[in-house]
Amino acid sequence: MNPQASLIFILSLLLGTTITISSNHWMMAWTGLEINTLAILPLIAKSHHPRAIEAATKYFLTQAAASTLLLFSSTTNAWFTGQWDITQLTHPLSSLLLTTAISIKLGLVPFHFWFPEVLQGSSLITGLLLATAMKFPPITLLFLVSSSLNPILLTTLAIASAALGGWTGLNQTQIRKILAFSSIAHLGWMTIVIIYNPKLTMITFYLYCMMTTTIFLTLKTTKILKLSSMMTAWTKIPSLSGALMLALLSLAGLPPLTGFLPKWLIVHELTKQEMTSTATIMTLLSLLGLFFYLRLAYCATITLPPNSTNFMKLWQTKKPVNILTTTSIVMTTMLLPLSPMMLTIN
């Protein structure tokens, strides 16, 4: 893609995100979401591959439907209450419609159908944007209206997302699809606690974005897209393969890595809200995700030598690792000692 065009689309993404997260009026928030959608579409379809075109089409249709529901929700709320302010979402019907719209935009179960396919049809960098930056405006809107949402509905969506995200990821061989189902499961963890502690949801989202960025940048450097190609990737940059294993285990939530912190805090918050059974269910469902994270980590570090001429070119190759990848790896694996400061923020 032309560099000038890429710059315009990236700046449009920044503009759309800024408009949405800084607005108090529903129309401005909707405008920002639409700018985001229109800016990411060319980035998804830039390879001109049929799968990329299909992914862009699916993304456009689902996001258009979600934006329509969001606009209908805000209009209904304005009709009944006379308020266009985002924080004044008081009508039950508007709250239900908004929850549905945000669930579609985020990819929560049962509206998750588009996300794995779109991520699989995108490049790694575009996939990183879809899994992190594109989820920031919707989850910010959910944060702003958290006091008006239905707790039973959100808990149901969260448990279903954690269950299906872990269960469906078990039989995948494409890494982008595995990361898509991982994203769905993590969104379940964020959603379940947003009513009781919205700040904790945002902390969890920031840490998830950091860990996912590490994994996508590492995969981009080593050019890995499938499980079968992970076993020989250690010959390119052995240290990066080890770091990828730690990043995956951090995303799984194993101590003493960074990813353990948000899950521990969420379980603690649910227990404090006398939702012990819900916390137990979420913890058990995270074991499903742990299995495919361990499988990815095993494939990333297994010392299987290249056994065909196709893989001989992987030997003795040196690829530069940029400072962003290095910094994200350090933060993904070693941020747990800063948890007292995060608890203070929380």
Looking at every residue in the chain, the average pLDDT score rounds to 87
Whether pLDDT at 1 is above 60: yes
Phi, psi of 154 (to 5 degrees): -65, -40
Per-residue pLDDT at 136: 94
* Structure-block tokens of residue 127: 């996939």
Per-residue pLDDT at 333: 81
Domain extents for the chain? 1-149, 159-346
Partners of 85 in the β-ladder: 25
Mean pLDDT, range 119-137, rounded to an integer: 93
Q: How many CB atoms lie within 10 A of CB 243?
A: 23
Computed on alpha carbons and rounded to an integer, the radius of gyration of the chain in Å comes to 20
Per-residue pLDDT at 257: 87
Per-residue pLDDT at 307: 55
pLDDT tier for residue 14 given thresholds of 50, 70 and 90: very high
Query: The dihedral of CA 38, 44, 50, 54: what is its sign?
Result: negative
Three-state secondary structure call for residue 85: strand
Per-residue pLDDT at 223: 84
- In whole angstroms, what is the distance from residue 200 CA to residue 194 CA? 7
Three-state secondary structure call for residue 248: helix
* DSSP-assigned letter for residue 237: -
pLDDT tier for residue 286 given thresholds of 50, 70 and 90: very high
Give residue-wise pLDDT tens across range 231-249. Answer: 777 777 777 888 888 899 9
- In whole angstroms, what is the distance from residue 142 CA to residue 66 CA? 14
Per-residue pLDDT at 233: 72
Whether pLDDT at 316 is above 60: no
Give residue-wise pLDDT tens across range 164-200. Answer: 999 998 888 889 999 999 999 999 999 999 999 999 9
Per-residue pLDDT at 59: 95
Q: Among all chains, which residue has been given the structure tokens 């996939």?
A: 127
* Structure-block tokens of residue 206: 């920031």
Whether pLDDT at 305 is above 70: no
Per-residue pLDDT at 298: 83
Mean pLDDT, range 279-305, rounded to an integer: 84
Give residue 312's identity as a one-letter amino acid code.
M
- In whole angstroms, what is the distance from residue 160 CA to residue 68 CA? 24
Q: Which residues contact 211 (CB under 8 A, 6 or more apart)?
A: 247, 250, 251, 258, 259, 332
Lowest mean pLDDT among 46-60, 68-82, 258-272, 332-346: 332-346
Lowest mean pLDDT among 25-39, 85-99, 107-121, 319-333: 319-333
- In whole angstroms, what is the distance from residue 76 CA to residue 306 CA? 61
Phi, psi of 21 (to 5 degrees): -75, -15
* Structure-block tokens of residue 222: 């080593």
pTM over 0.75: yes
* DSSP-assigned letter for residue 226: B
User: Which candidate, 305, 292, 218, 290, places its Cα nearest to that of 257?
Assistant: 290
User: Which candidate, 328, 194, 197, 337, places its Cα nearest to that of 261?
Assistant: 337
Mean pLDDT, range 302-319, rounded to an integer: 55
Mean pLDDT, range 311-338, rounded to an integer: 71
Give residue-wise pLDDT tens across range 81-124. Answer: 888 888 888 888 999 999 999 999 999 988 999 999 999 999 99
What stretch of H or E contains 147?
none
* Structure-block tokens of residue 183: 């994203």
Lowest mean pLDDT among 1-5, 82-86, 89-93, 251-255: 1-5
* Structure-block tokens of residue 50: 């049929």
CB 20 within 8 A of CB 29: yes
pLDDT tier for residue 208 given thresholds of 50, 70 and 90: very high
Helix locations, the chain, DSSP H: 3-22, 26-44, 50-81, 92-106, 114-120, 124-131, 136-144, 151-168, 175-192, 198-222, 227-230, 238-252, 260-272, 276-301, 323-334, 339-345
Percent of the chain's residues with pLDDT above 70: 92
Q: Which residues contact 133 (CB under 8 A, 6 or more apart)?
A: 13, 17, 209
CB 60 within 8 A of CB 104: no
Whether pLDDT at 310 is above 90: no
CB 216 within 8 A of CB 180: no
